[in-house]
Amino acid sequence: MLLIGQPLHAQQSETDRQALAQLRAKAEAGDAQSQFELGAAFSLGKFGVATNYAESVKWYRQAAEQNDAKSQNALAWILATSANPAIRDGANAVLFAEKVGAATDRKAPSNLDTLAAAYAEAGQFEKAVSTQHEAIALLQSDEEKNDYRSRLKLYEAKTPYREKD
């Protein structure tokens, strides 16, 4: 089991260890922002910790259950797109992604992208396609549109999107 505060890499600094200890204390006390940040640390390998999606899901879930929208979106994305089948959970991905979609009045393209990925993971490909079209319509840059269209092609082919963990 990974313990925060233990050096995981030779490059982990004392500053990183102290920051993680403080973050963990706040997260364990129930602070949703700290739970989100701890989830991100494990998801992205921040503060010198190794990437650990199970730990990331744990912390994102705690914040998401407090109705923290960014945690709901981050949790839904991992549950929908993880390369690890033990992490994926389409039904819960849809649950959390629908909450954040409703909370943002379906106006945030990144949240709709997550919702589309969740629908695809749950096998609801028609909803995935229509939601991804909705997200694309809200985007401004061609680069973002191309990125979203690449996932749209997968959903049209009845294939969920997978991150490379």
Domain boundaries, the chain: 13-66, 69-159
Position 13 scores a pLDDT of 84
Q: pLDDT by residue (tens digit) across 32-63? A: 999 999 999 999 988 888 899 999 999 999 99
pTM: 0.88
Q: What is the DSSP string of the chain?
A: ---TTS--STT--HHHHHHHHHHHHHHHTT-HHHHHHHHHHHHHTGGGPPP-HHHHHHHHHHHHTTT-HHHHHHHHHHHHH-S-TTT--HHHHHHHHHHHHHHTTT--HHHHHHHHHHHHHTT-HHHHHHHHHHHHHH---HHHHHHHHHHHHHHHTT-------
Domain 69-159 has what CATH class?
mainly alpha
